[in-house]
Structure 1
Amino acid sequence: MKSVAGVLLCVAIASVSTSVPVRAQEADPERVYKAAGAKASRPMATVAYGSSELQVADLRLPTGKGPFPVAVVIHGGCFMSSVDKRSGIAAFADALTERGYATWNIEYRRVGDPSGGWPGTFEDVAAAIDKLADVAPRYKLDMKRVAFVGHSAGAYFALWAASRPRLMKPWSNARVRPIAVAAIDGPGTLASFVGLDAQVCGRPVIVPLMGGTPSQKPAEYRLASPQDHLPLGMPQLLVLSDLADLMRPYVAAAKAGGDTVQTLTPPNANHFDVVTPKTPNGQAVVRFVADNLMPRRP
């Protein structure tokens, strides 16, 4: 058993070829983070990018005059509205801000929310990121140094958002384009996650997210799969923990496509401590992301 505060249960699944944690995200992520001492400062601003109360993003700024490099931070939660929210990953965003990054910690609608699922969830992620272009002048954000950082389902969305320029219109009409992406313990595609998702999340989530199976919605699954749109043409930082076996096919495909890929596999890590800055593994992930996400200006 591996745990943070004794709540995360991970075991190998003998009946499938991939080892995954059983119901790893049925633990309350915020409770786990708080038990590990995760705290975050209040954001500089909370900005709406739509009319829903869930269509907002928190902006945190480092000290200094700017212009600041920006890390768009995307939380996970098994694609479900009932698991996790942006406050859960706020301490991780705060840790990046302490290392010189402005952070744009987005909220978005998910399965269980009105208009959650395909395409609403994807439209929210895209719109939240594109809103940066509007706030950049006021807060002195350097739009030439923007990167996407996601955890769990958010790792998937970070990779997907980075792939937008390679998709068909209107998805390719990205106002904000990253120079790098960091994916922390999440899948790089959805179709192969069908079936395993019930073991990881405690219930099926991918078919409800996409509105059908891969055979029923092949075009949608292809549009939604960053692994199908490699190479991304940018450096990628991939952190492997409980969902490592789900990430390894993406790692191999990205390298085969010629992308620059760096991986980090923290020792004895689990799905939550890798984004909890008070833990040794969380500190290691913060350093890995902050030090390698983009070149710094002198």
Structure 2
Amino acid sequence: MVRLPAPVAGKRISYGPDSLQVGELRLPEGTGPFPVVVLLHGGCWLSEYNAAYMSHLSAALTKAGYATWNLEFRRVGNAGGGFPGTFQDVAQGTDYVRELAKAYPLLPKKVVVLGHSAGGHLALWLAARRNLPRTSPLYSPKPLKLKGVVALAGIPDLAAYSTAPGSCNKAVAQLLGGQPTETPERYAAGSPSQLLPLRVPVRLVQGAQDPIVPVSQAQNFATLAQTKGDDTRVLLLPNTGHFDLVYPASSAWPTIEKAVEDLLGSSRERQQKRL
């Protein structure tokens, strides 16, 4: 696989008081205003992994004409991470696009959330959170409306994932403070599969050779979401693993770019509308 040089850094901006409540904003060339892709990294929801590995994907999407907001957030192992802090951070960071739009040429009404692995779970949850009851610790009023979600090897069913063998699976209990039988209310509030319908288009990009997140996570969620009336599609890529999905030099990149384009429109289309 082609090795890519490190991308030019974006502008780091805090969306909250904690040092981990920060995002990296990249803007395309031109005057804008630009639609926005919010990026959420994976890493089993654990503090050992951070947003840096999403930088190549962020830079590639920015080159394609989208502003990107690559979020960092508190994770399991960080003070305040886990439940509810991790969820609250990604919600706060995503809603902060409204504030960014006051200072930068962004379109806060044209936002897609794209997440990888555990970040794919959080991306789907961001679309689902409007279904939470007001009594939930994860509830937030007037969440930012999304144009859609692109989940790269996302994990929508936390209960099923937590009880299966694998490298990240045990981290679900750390995120939610117990197994499904011990903290069922947290699984209900944190699992996109239990918060359907999402009422936004969802594209589930999944590698057929992924050893970390099984294809069944995407397929079962799509089937369930479709019965609820959602526009949810699985884009299954043969000969593709888990991390190929976040590497723009891989064969997966055209599918990911097309998924974002389908939800937000292409830069060429936007230029033609302005003429």
TM-score of the pair, normalised by structure 1 = 0.82
Tell me how far 1:290 sits from its aligned partner. Answer: 3.0
Q: Which runs of 5+ in 2 are unaligned?
A: none
Task: Give yes or no for contact 2:205–2:256 (8 Å, CA) kept in 1.
Answer: no
Task: Give yes or no for contact 2:37–2:111 (8 Å, CA) kept in 1.
Answer: yes
Task: Give yes or no for contact 2:150–2:260 (8 Å, CA) kept in 1.
Answer: no
Question: Hey, what does 2:242 align to over in structure 1?
Answer: 271
1: CA distance, partners of 2:97 / 2:190:
22
How many residue pairs match? The answer is 260
Question: Hey, what does 2:157 align to over in structure 1?
Answer: 189
Instruction: Describe the superposition over 1:12-56 as per-residue Cα deviations: whole angstroms up to 9, x where unpaired.
Output: xxxxxxxxxxxxxxxxxxxxxxx843632210x211122222110
Q: How does 1:138-287 map to 2 (within 5 A)?
A: 138-169=103-134, 171-196=139-164, 199-201=166-168, 204-241=170-207, 242=210, 243=213, 244-281=215-252, 283-287=253-257
Task: Give yes or no for contact 2:206–2:218 (8 Å, CA) kept in 1.
Answer: yes
Q: Which moved more, 1:259-268 or 1:154-163?
A: 259-268
Task: Give yes or no for contact 1:156–1:188 (8 Å, CA) kept in 2.
Answer: yes
Tell me how far 1:120 sits from its aligned partner. Answer: 0.8
Task: Sort the Cα spacing of 1:119 and 1:231 in 2 relative to 1 into closer, same or farther, 3 A.
Answer: same
Name the aligned partner's letter for residue 244 of structure 2: D
2: CA distance, partners of 1:263 / 1:54:
32
Question: Hey, what does 1:290 align to over in structure 2?
Answer: 260
CA RMSD of aligned residues (A): 1.7
Tell me how far 1:167 sits from its aligned partner. Answer: 1.1
Q: How does 1:38-187 map to 2 (within 5 A)?
A: 39-43=6-10, 45-82=11-48, 84-169=49-134, 171-187=139-155
1: CA distance, partners of 2:195 / 2:143:
19
Task: Give yes or no for contact 1:60–1:104 (8 Å, CA) kept in 2.
Answer: yes
Task: Give yes or no for contact 2:112–2:260 (8 Å, CA) kept in 1.
Answer: no
TM-score of the pair, normalised by structure 2 = 0.89
Name the aligned partner's letter for residue 86 of structure 2: T
2: CA distance, partners of 1:204 / 1:285:
30
Q: Which runs of 5+ in 1 are unaligned?
A: 5-34
2: CA distance, partners of 1:271 / 1:262:
18
Name the aligned partner's letter for residue 167 of structure 2: V
% identity of equivalent residues: 37
Task: Sort the Cα spacing of 1:78 and 1:172 in 2 relative to 1 into closer, same or farther, 3 A.
Answer: same
